Amino acid sequence: MKEFLVVLTTTVPEGTDPDEVTRRRAAEAVRARELAATGHLARLWRPVGELRSIGLWRADDEADLREKVLGTLPLWPWMTAEVTALQPHPNDPGPAGGPGA
C-alpha cells in the first residue's frame, strides 16, 4: 500500500440536528478504529487549537483512498480533504530509510 498525508477539515452544515452530529461523531470513532485495524489509518493528529485532523493513511492509490477508505467515514460528506502522496526519503531514520534498508 502507498502512504498519504491527509488533512481533513469538517464543516457541519448549518441547521444540522445536534443529535445527528453526535451520532456521526460516535460512528466516526468506531470507523477510525476499524480502518486502523486494517492498516489504512496509521496515525492521526489534531493541531493544537484547531478543528482539523492530519493523518497518515494507506491505500493502493489515491482513488482507492478517497472512495474505499475516506469515503467510508461517517463525517466524509461534511469533510474537505487535502491529499498528498508520500514516498520514502533516503534519509528517513525510520525502518524504511534506516541502515540496511
pTM of the model: 0.88
Instruction: Inform me whether the pLDDT recorded for 98 exceeds 60.
Output: no
Nearest to 43 by CA among 80, 71, 69, 4: 4
The CATH homologous superfamily for domain 2-86 is Dimeric alpha+beta barrel (3.30.70.1060)
H-type alpha helices, the chain:
18-37, 62-64
Q: What local confidence, expressed as pLDDT, does residue 94 receive?
A: 79
Instruction: Inform me whether the pLDDT recorded for 70 exceeds 50.
Output: yes
